[in-house]
Each structure stands twice: as structure tokens, then as C-alpha cells.
Structure 1
Amino acid sequence: MVAGTHPSRPGTGGGDGDVPPYIARDADERIRRHLAEAELHGGMVLVVGDSTAGKTRAAFEAVRAVLPEYRVCAPSADNDMTGVPLSVERGGSRCVVWLDDLERYLRPGGMQVDVMAALTRLKVPVVATMRLKPFETFSAARDHGSGAQLLRAAGVIDLDRLWSNEELSRAERCDDPRILDALTHHGTYGVAEYLAAGPSLLREWRRAGPGNGHARGTALVRAAVDLTRCGLRGPYPRALLEDAHQWYLPAEGSISRLESVDTAFAWASKVRHGVTSLLLPAGTEKWLAFDYLVDHADTRIPDPVWEAALAQTDADADRWVIARNAQDVAPQAAEMAWRPLADAGNPYAANDLALLLGALGRVQEAESLYRQALGKGHLDAANNLAILLEREGRVDEAEALYRSALRGGDPYAALNLGDLLERADRLAEAAALYRRALNNGSKHAAHALATLAQKMGSLDEAVSLYRVAIELGDPHAAEDLAELLIFLGRPREAEECRARAAEGS
């Protein structure tokens, strides 16, 4: 429980705090293999999945199995992470760094690329968990900003919330009554979901409302859920929820009367199934939303709630996460979050705000911010500014910036400069840059090099390079290879290629 697992339905064999026996998951072998490699070489093992999929428990059991004698360093998300490598080194004992809910650490001063690089040099394994929605937000393909590079370098293992037939078969051999009850009643949900009472509470919340006397209660829960979706760390004071919930109440006159605020809080905080509640008490008059509800909420967050989240915090880390969550759905809120940090001279905020404004077509502002970040030594800013200028037709300036980024070690600059040169018909230079990117492990470089070889008539080389791209996980290489094989009169190989791609998808 201390590691961050959800409570489960109470059992008959012990107290309500008893943790059910662990049922081996199909992903265990991959998690443990990655962890064994991280023990030898350093690196991050990241378990990703929906709330209540069993991420934390699977990660915990992997640490217990692979690193039983290691000490666990579990820094608070509020801590400055830059000192963690030195603290671990001075500690003198073998240690694993534990980061539950990794998204809380992806901020300036948190778990950044340089901190991870220092831990890797010390061969310190890092084990982390992350819910699927935050993972998708932070690792978005267009995002070269804070956190994205870290996630791309991690060993990511997906954990499905729905159990496989093999997992269910293993569970059937367990004699714990909670597991057996879950097997009988979980229906279309995962066993871990059922144990944590997630589906039951979600249904109750969605069905409650004005028609059954819980209009204010459901609004309070939604306020807490949406503040969490914004990225504001809880717990939330009662006064904040009382203010924010007003935006979710039914229109005036649509119901005869609302329940009192005290009645609404009592309903929302009532423990269901002996497990948890819609609102979780977290101190005197402070509350958290049950995170299963957060993962399954998909309604639009009202603009005033974004503003309330920003007004509630003066922590740079919170503003950062709020900006990241807002950038695609509420760009005005993202700008409000990043602007004070950029104005204060934070190069990471300047870079990420420039990404946002560039996407909104505010080119001059974006360019100014990129140059501000570049002047402060931000490694990504040169590459990102080059992309912006290339898009604006300022190709010579873009080329110079790509080369500057390349000299600075930017992992994307070789691929981007190669693409620019290929379109300028400077094919030999482009090929050299693609090979440089490929040597650094870029799956996109393998695909680009294959396409270039095909364009230059080196068809056998193109076939080999497409196969390399497929091995590296490029999602489009298989179809391009199949089309080339058909052109070469090798239809059977083309069909085999498509079949293997379909099996792996």
C-alpha cells in the first residue's frame, strides 16, 4: 500500500487492509527482464496502463523478485530531483529509484534527462509507473519539450487492464475469496479494476445527479476530477471545490432544490464496498478524487476551472503540468500557465510556450521565445526554431540552426536536417545524416534512408533498410516494403511482410 497500490475489497481472511495475493501477469517476464538489464546498465523501466490495471503491484513484485536486497529510494514529487544521483552515490549501498505516477516528476527540477543520465552512469535502475492518459500527453510525437525525451528513452511495458485467458486461469487456482469473487463478477472489466471497485463507483457517479437528489454531490466530484485532469496536485481544500463545483450544477430552475453542501460532501465521501469513495478525505477539510474516475472522464473542462487551478497554485511544477495537460484542449490556459515561467527566464517554459504559439500561427512570438530559450542554453530550442523557420520558407536560416543543434547533440537534428537536404536534392548529404541518426537508434531514420535508397535506385539496399526500420518498430515501414517487393516481382514475400505486420499490431 505504501508503494501506491489501490485498496481492494475486504476479504474474509484478515483485516480490511490486507493486500490480495499477487496473480502473475503476462507482462511480468518483460518487466523483470527490463529491470535485470537496468540493474546491469542503468535505465528506466516504466509500466504504463489505466488506473487500477495493476501497474504499481506488478512493478513492486518485479523489484521484490529481481532486486530483493536493494534499498528503495522513493523521493517525493515535490523534491528537487537534481540531487538524487549524488545522494544515491554517497549512500554507498545498492539502490533502486521508485517513481509512482511518473507524470508528477516530469517538470524542471524533477526527473529530467540530465538526472536520468546521471543515474544511468551510476548504473542505478529506475522503476516508474504512469497512467495511460498522462503518458500519451507527455510522449506526444510533436513534443520535443520537457519529459518527452525521457519517456522515449525508457523501457516501456504496457499493462492491460483486461486480463488474458492465461491470467484468468492462474487466478482460478488462487483460494483468496476476493480473487474468486472478482473472477465471478468482473464481467467486461479487469479483475484488478473489480477488486478496486472502480467500475461500480464510476457507474454510481454517472447515474447520480438531479433526478435522485445528488446534483451537488456529483458536481463536487466532477470538480475534483477535473481539477486533477487539469494537473493541479491535490488534496483540494473544501473551499476550492465549493467554488469550482458551481460550473457543473444544473441550470437554475431545472430542479426544485439542491441538497446542502454538507449533505453533498457526505454522499461523495461515503465508503463504497468497503474499499473507497468518490471523494477521498486527505486531511482536515481536504479532498482527492478517486483516480479511476479521472481516467474515465472525457467531458470538456470548463475554462473557469482551468483558471481556478492556476489561481490555486504558486508552484512552478504545478503550472508546468497544467500547461502540458492544457496545450491541446485549452491553449489559452496553457499560455497562462507557461507565460509567467517564461517571463521569469525559464528556458524550458520559453521553449514549450514557443511550441504552443508556433502551432497557433503566432510565428513572431514563437521565434522570440525560441531565441530566448536558445540564449539560455536550451538544447532543443535550436532544432525547434529551425523547424519553425523551415515551415516559414527561411530555409538557409533553418539549415544553420539544424547544424547548430547537431553540434549540440540534439537527437532529432540529424533526421530533420537530412529531410531538409533531401528536399533540396542534396541526396548524398541527406543520406549521411540519416545514417548518423540511424546509428543513434532512430527508427524514422531507417525508414527515411530506405525511402531515399529506393529513390536513388538502390532497391536491394532499400529492402534491407526497410527491414531494419521494421525491426526498430517503425509503423509504416512494413507497408512500404510490401509495395516495393511487389514492384520487384516478389508478391509472396510482400504478403508475408504484411501478415507479420498484422500479427504485431
Structure 2
Amino acid sequence: MGEQNVSGGEQGHVVQARDIENLTITPPASPPEPGSADSPLLRYLRHPESWPVAREWQALPAGVHRARPGEDGTGLPPYVPRDADGQVRDHLRTASAWGGMILLVGDSTAGKTRTAFEALRAVLPHYRVLAPPAGGGKLWQVAEAAHGGGEPCVLWLDDLERYLGPDGLEPVVLEELGRSHVPVLATMRSKPFQNLRTGPSQQVLNVAEIVDLGRLWSESELSRAAECPDPRIADALAHHDLYGVAEYLAAGPALLREWRQAWSADGHARGAALVAAAVDLSRCGLPGPYPTDLLTEIHERHLRDANGSYLRPEPLAAAFDWAGRVRHGVTSMLLPADDGLWEPFDYLVDHAGPGVPDWMWDAALTHARDDTDRFVIGLHAYGVRPQAAETAWRQVHDHGHLLGTYNLAVLLADAGHTDEAEALYRQAHEKEYPRATNNLALLLRGQGKAAEAEALYRQAAARGYTKAAYNLGVLLEELGRTEEAEPLFRHMHDQGFRIATNNLANLRKQAGALDEAETLYRLAHEDGVLKATYNLALLLAGTDRAAEAEELYRVAHARGYQHATYNLALLLARQGRAEEAEAFFKHPHNQHNPNAVYNLAVLMQETGYPEEADRYYRRASAAGHPRATLGYANLAETTGRLDLAEKLYREAHAQGYVDATYRLARLLTTTGRTEEAERCYELAHRGGHPEALVELALLLVETGRSQLTDDTAAPDDGPT
């Protein structure tokens, strides 16, 4: 269940739908409770003089993956400039002046941490680096320490997902850091980013400047790498068709291959199972490192599921030795931590293959240390194992945590348990949590309780929740109160809330102010609002600027906007570009779109492929397209299948299509059934068909009659 802030055109019509917020990792801005004086975070924060200076900091402590050692024993090869360097460094300069977060997103071993590290040393060499340990404290304390440290500093959050959750990186923490002009430089693997961005975790992630870093290098990056004299780079370049350069240097593919091959009778089945236990616990969201006893317990089930007794697994001590052995001078599958703790190599986590077994979620929850662990496990389970998410969040809710209450309500609403969801939303609403107020309003709006929904949206908006103000505007527009909706959208537009800019453009378009609507759509489009890109294309297509509209439709199509794919196909068909139109009508975006299937049938008929047209008309008719039966009847008539054509015309007539009644009359005339044809012409004429009266008059003349009959009965033999 993702964001549903829908507004704008759909196949030529302006459509607006409501917004629903998803899972959140952002608690309300309430006064924090004092943290534990003995927490690792507080111990770290008490000594700002120990925070490294960026120009003196080393890459490995920063979190950069080790690489294959060089001939001279060096741990890391020279840095090869990446295409994203300029973007990262520009964002970092801006954030150092005004505050803000830069987030590098990419696969494990894509080079995110190295790129961020090199940017930090290049742009802010004299800054202290505040790199707090994950867990064990409240991140609002970081903002206090950064403000009081006495020297400029940057907050470094490698693997950002470790810092999200209750008492984690909250919007209020980011705001406080921004007021102190403390930039935040963070990295995040692609899979956690995709898992967490669809919920109200967006409230944190959406304020970041996102920089995507590809696993496979571009031609320009490969060219720069070729100029590097380090033999390790040259070796990686030789494998770049399959692997990214940084990926190969970090030995990720080699370890993944060895792990997969270990599940055999002559391999290391127990060692592979130990690695699988750590990998799956990580994929469930249980933070590591993991105790030896836990991996020992969990791996037995993995081994049993793989028919372990037939694989003749090695002894446990040998299995840990194998899993913890360093390969290629780089890393091991299990990374040892203090006191007998282990973490999986994150490359294996990202490339483990099929989903986590159902029983693993129960195991992860059983070994969760606190409600923060349970909460994060719920985030990872949401969307893939909702039962586990419900179990996790019920426990957090039962312990009195507001975020557990809210997320449980979202999950239950998604599953259709609206009564319990409403009760939970009301609990969170009464504690003045505006996201719950917003979603309660949404739930009630869906039940037709518009007045109560409006009051709740107004309360949430008054508490500073911008999306509630947006939803209020959408509701007012749906109720026909556009004179109230427009000032709301305009105010949010002035504040830079570009989805509201799109909605304001819709209203101005409806009012006939096309130039203003175009300007507004362009602003929202340039700021990345996909609906605005599509709506701008609709506007331009309607004003005979087809080339510009086509370009924008293609942009929206490439970004996954399904209606753009359909409208692009229509545009191409109208221009006579049949082959291109056919390809877009057949695109997977249109797989479940009856309009696309119907128009594809029309296109096939017009371009001389009646058999394909026949097939697509039947598909569109079965999918319920209102004009498909009539189109199929016309095709049947033109291909000489008159009995089928008559049957289909009668069906379309029964569906209320006047043109079907008229065409049925013509068909009846040609087959000599003039009395029934006369009645059909009369019905078509009374239904407004422009040619029916003339045809009726001609029929009366031909049959020697001179006046219309009052008989308006339906044709003989109703629809079959």
C-alpha cells in the first residue's frame, strides 16, 4: 500500500483521488526523555575532540569495503572519479551552508561509501566527522552535541537504515541540524531504500538530496578507470561486462558464488547454513551483529530444509572457520565482531535470491531485543509478510508506543479491517499525532462521512501536517467547493509543495486559464511531479502541440506512468504511426487496460489485420469495454459474418448504443426484414442518430409507405 496522492488526467479526463500515508518511522515532535548515561552513543558524544577531522580520516573506518590487496600491500586502490562526484559535492557545499541531507543510494559494493568519503574530504576537509554508533541512544542527542561541539562538523550515517526507527533520524532532528548548519552525509543500499521509502519513512527520505550510484560503471567512468595504473583496476575492468568495478574489487561475486556452491555433499553445507542464518536475520530487519548461539540455533533449520543429513555437513567449529575465513585478501562471508558476534557480508544480503522463509520472521521476532527491533522487523515484513508485521506492531502497540499503534492501523486498514483500524487511528489522533488524524479522515471519507473527514483534515493541517492540507483541498474540490480548494492549493504551491501546484494547474485549466495552467504544470514537472508531466502532455496534445506532448508522454512512460503509455499510443495512432502505436498499446503498462485493447483492435482493423482485430475485439468485449461489442459487430459485418454481426448489434443495442440500433436497421434492410428495420430506424432517430430519419424515409418510399409508425417496440429477438 503506497502513496495514493493521485491527481490529474487519466485518458483525457482530470481525475483526483485521495492520499494515504503508509508506514512511519517518524515519531511526533514531543519533548525527548533523557537517554541512558551509559549508552554507547552518549559516551561517543561526550568527547567531540575525538571525532576525526575529515582530511585525516581513513576510508576503512568510514565503512568503505576492503578491496583485493595490491602488490605493495595497500588496502585500497586509488579512487576513480565517478560521474556523480560533481552532484554529490555540490549538494554537500549547499548543505554545509544551509543544512540538509545528501543520501547516496545503490547496491552493495557500488562504491557509495567511497564516493561520499572522497567528496567529504574534498569539500569539507577541516570539518569534524560525527559518525555515531547505531542504536543504544537517541539521535536528538546528536543534534545537541553537534550544536555544542564548538567546531564545524558533518553527521556521517553510513547504512542509513540502521539509524531509522523510534528515536532515530526524526524530522525534528534534521530540522535542528539544519538550524545549526550541520550537513548530513548518508548512504543506503537500494533494497532497504525501496522497502522503506514507500511509508512515512518518506518524511525523512524525501527531504534528502538523493544521488543514485549505479553498480555497473558508465563509459566515461570506465574510460577514467582505464587510465589508472593500479593492476587491480585493470583486472576489474576485464570483468566489467558482468560486474561493476567496485563490486569486483570487493570480491562480492566471488564470495556469492562460493556460498552457493557450498550447498553440496563435498562442500561446506553447515557453513553455508550459518551464513544463510545471518543473511536472513538481516533481511528480516533484526539488527546485527548476531551471537554465535543464535546463528547456531537458526542454521539448523536451514540445514534441515536443505536435506542436510544427505549433505554430510562438517562440524560446527569447522563451519564457523570456513564462514569467517578471509577470501582474496578482502573479506569473509561472516564478519567477526566483538565477543563472539557475527555480521553477514552485505553483498550476500543483497544477492541472496528468493524471499525469506516464513519461519524466519518468527525467529527474528523471538530474538528481538526491544520494541525498536520489533518495529523495524515490522517495516521489513510489511508488504512481504504482513502477518509478521502485524505481530511485531501489536507488541509495540501493546507496550504503549504510538508508532506501533499508527502502523498497526495502517496495516489493518490495508487488509480491510476498517473497524479496528479506525479505533487505532482514533487512539493516535487523540494523542495529537497528525498523520493518524489524516488517515482517519481518509478512512471516514471512504465511508462517505465527508463532514467529519473535513474537520479532521483541518485539525491535522492546523498541526502543521502539509499533506492533510493538500487532502483537504482535494476533498473540497471533490465536493464542488473549488473556490475554497484553490486558495489552499495556491498557498501550498507558494510553499513549494509541487503536487499542490499540479492540482492548482488542474483548476486553472478547468477555468480556461490555459497559459497559467501550462506554467504551473511546467513548474511541477521540472520538480519531478510525474502527474504534472502527464497532465502537461495532455494539455499540449489538446492544443495541437503534438511533438511536445509526445516527448512528455515518453518521459512519463519511461518513469512508469501507465496512462502516459496509453495516451502516447493514441497520439501515435492518430498520426498514422501504426507500428509504434501498436507497440505501445501492447506494452505491459496496458495489459489490463480495456481501452488499450479496444483501440488496438481498431488499429488492427484499420491497417488490414482482421484476424488480430477479431481477437482484440473479443478480449476488449470480455473485459467490459462499452464500445467493443459494437466494433466487433462492425468487423463481423465487413468480413461477411452477417449472423454474428446481427447477434453483436443486438447486444450493443441492448446496451444502449444508438449507433448499434442504426447499424442493425441497415443490416435488417439488406436481409429483407423491412418491418423490423423500420422500427429500429425509428428508435435510432428518437435516440438522436443523425442519419436514421433519412434512411427511414428512403425505406418507406421503397416499400410504398409515406408516414412513420407509432410502434416503438424493440427489435425482434432480443439480445442473445
- Cα distance in structure 1, aligned partners of 2:444 and 2:357: 34
Q: Given the alignment of the two structures, is residue 193 of structure 1 paired with residue 220 of structure 2, yes or no?
A: no
Please say if residues 42 and 122 of structure 1, whose CA atoms lie closer than 8 Å, have aligned partners that are also in contact. Answer: yes
Q: In structure 1, what is the Cα distance between the partners aligned to 2:439 and 2:558?
A: 36
CA displacement 1:263-314 (0-9 Å, x = unmatched)? 3323322222111122222234322111001112242212321121122122
What amino acid does structure 2 have at the position aligned with 1:115?
V
Deviation, structure 1 residue 252: 4.8
C-alpha contact (below 8 Å) 1:347/1:374 kept by paired residues: no
Per-residue deviation, 1:58: 0.8
User: Cα offset for 1:459?
Assistant: 2.6
The separation in 2 between residues aligned to 1:335 and 1:497, in whole angstroms, is 41
Structure 2 partner of 1:74: 131
Q: Is 2:441 the counterpart of 1:383?
A: no
SS at match of 1:277: coil
Could you tell me which of 102, 106, 110 is aligned with 1:49? Answer: 106
Distance (whole Å) between structure 2 residues aligned to residue 310 and residue 477 of structure 1: 42
Contact 2:265–2:313, Cα closer than 8 Å, also in 1: no
* Distance in structure 2 (CA, Å) of the matches to 1:454 and 1:164: 42
Q: Is the 8 A contact 2:106 2:213 kept in 1?
A: yes
Distance 1:428 1:206, change over 3 A: farther
Displacement of 1:355 in angstroms is 1.1
TM-score when scaled to structure 1? Answer: 0.94
Q: What are the equivalent positions in structure 2 for 1:94-173 lying under 5 Å apart?
A: 94-140=152-198, 143-144=199-200, 147-173=201-227
Letter in 2 for 1:9: R
Q: TM-score, normalised by structure 2?
A: 0.66
- Compute the displacement of 1:345 (Å): 2.1
- Bigger Cα displacement from structure 2, 381-390 vs 213-222: 213-222
SS in structure 2 of the partner of residue 231 of structure 1: coil
Pair 1:84-2:138 in alignment? no
Letter in 1 for 2:248: Y
Alpha-carbon distance in structure 2 between the residues aligned to 1:256 and 1:345? 47
1:447 lines up with 2:505 in the alignment: no
Which residue is equivalent to 1:10?
Answer: 69
The aligned runs of 1:262-411 (5 Å cut-off) are: 262-411=317-466
Could you tell me whether the CA contact under 8 Å between 2:265 and 2:312 is conserved in 1? no
What is the Cα deviation at residue 256 of structure 1?
5.9
Report the CA distance between 1:503 and its aligned residue: 8.7
Letter in 1 for 2:208: A
Identity %: 53
> What letter corresponds to residue 358 of structure 1 in structure 2?
A
Indicate if the aligned counterparts of 1:414 and 1:436 stay in contact, CA closer than 8 A.
Answer: no
Distance in 1 (CA, whole Å) between partners of 2:423 and 2:503 is 31
C-alpha change, 1:252 and 1:7, in structure 2 (3 Å) is closer
2:78 to 21, 24, 38: 21
Residue 235 of structure 1 contacts residue 282 of structure 1 at CA under 8 Å; is this kept in 2? yes
* Distance of 2:187 and 2:262 partners within structure 1: 32
Distance 1:489 1:105 in 2: 51
CA distance in structure 1 between the partners assigned to 2:173 and 2:280 by the alignment = 31
Verify: 1:468 aligned to 2:523, yes or no: yes
Q: Is the partner of 1:153 in helix, strand or coil? A: coil
Residue deviations 1:155-182 (CA, integer Å, cap 9, x gap): 1111111111111111111112211221
In structure 2, the residue corresponding to 1:46 is in which secondary structure? strand
CA drift of 1:102 comes to 0.8
Match of 2:121 among 64, 74, 77: 64
Cα deviation, residue 73, structure 1: 1.0
Which secondary structure does the structure 1 equivalent of 2:349 belong to?
A: helix
Tell me: CA distance 1:498–1:256, structure 2 relative to 1, closer, same or farther (3 Å).
closer
- Distance in 2, Cα, partners of 1:455 & 1:121: 41
Higher deviation after alignment, 227-236 or 248-257: 248-257
In structure 2, distance between residues paired with 1:251 and 1:29: 48
Pair 1:491–1:251, CA change in 2 (3 A): closer
Tell me if structure 2 keeps the 8 A contact 1:35–1:66: yes
Q: In the alignment, is the contact (CA less than 8 A) between 1:9 and 1:178 conserved in 2?
A: yes
Q: 1:348, 1:378 within 8 Å by CA — same for their partners in 2?
A: no
**CA apart distance, 1:184:** 1.9
Residue 379 of structure 1 deviates from its aligned partner by 3.0
2:262 corresponding residue in structure 1: 208
Number of residue pairs matched?
499
* Deviation, structure 1 residue 498: 4.2
1:502 to partner: Cα distance: 7.4
Query: Which amino acid in the other structure matches residue 547 of structure 2?
Result: R
- Separation in structure 2 between the aligned mates of residue 77 and residue 441 of structure 1, nearest angstrom: 33
| Cα pair 1:247 1:302 within 8 Å, conserved | no
The answer as to whether partners of 2:67 and 2:330 remain within 8 angstroms in 1 is: yes
C-alpha change, 1:503 and 1:107, in structure 2 (3 Å) is: closer
Q: 1:176 & 1:301 partners in 2: Cα distance?
A: 40
Q: CA 1:393–1:243 in 2, change beyond 3 Å: closer, same or farther? A: farther
Give 1:467 shift. 1.1
CA contact (8 A) 2:266 2:311 kept: no
Aligned CA-pair RMSD: 2.0
Change (3 A) 1:176 1:213: closer
CA contact 2:393–2:405 (8 Å) conserved in 1: yes
Which residue identity is paired with 2:511?
Answer: M
SS in 2 for 1:185: coil
Q: Deviations over 1:457-498 (max 9, x none)?
A: 333332222212211101233333223222212223323444
1:253 Cα deviation after fit: 8.3
Aligned to 1:229: 283
Aligned partners of 2:538 and 2:549 also within 8 Å = yes
Match of 1:240 in 2: 294
Counterpart residue type for residue 12 of structure 1: E
Larger Rg: 2
1:36 is aligned to 93
Which residues in structure 2 correspond to 1:397-436 (within 5 Å)? 397-436=452-491
Q: 1:422-471, CA deviations, whole angstroms, 9 ceiling, x for partnerless residues?
A: 21111222222222232232332222222333333333332222212211
1:41-98 CA distances to partner (integer Å, 9 max, x unpaired)?
0111111111111111111111111111111111111121112222122211111111
Q: 1:393 to 1:245 in 2, by over 3 A?
A: farther
Q: Which moved more, 1:286-295 or 1:315-324?
A: 315-324
1:392 positional shift: 2.6
In structure 2, the CA distance between the partners of 1:368 and 1:45, relative to structure 1 (3 Å rule), is same
Distance 1:310 1:497 in 2: 47
Distance 1:349-1:500 versus aligned 2 partners, 3 A rule: closer
Counterpart among 471, 490, 503 of residue 545 in structure 2: 490
* Structure 1 segments unaligned to the other structure (5+ residues): none
Q: Give the whole-Å Cα distance in 2 for the aligned partners of 1:468 and 1:118.
A: 29
Distance (Å, rounded) in 2 between the aligned partners of 1:434 and 1:417: 10
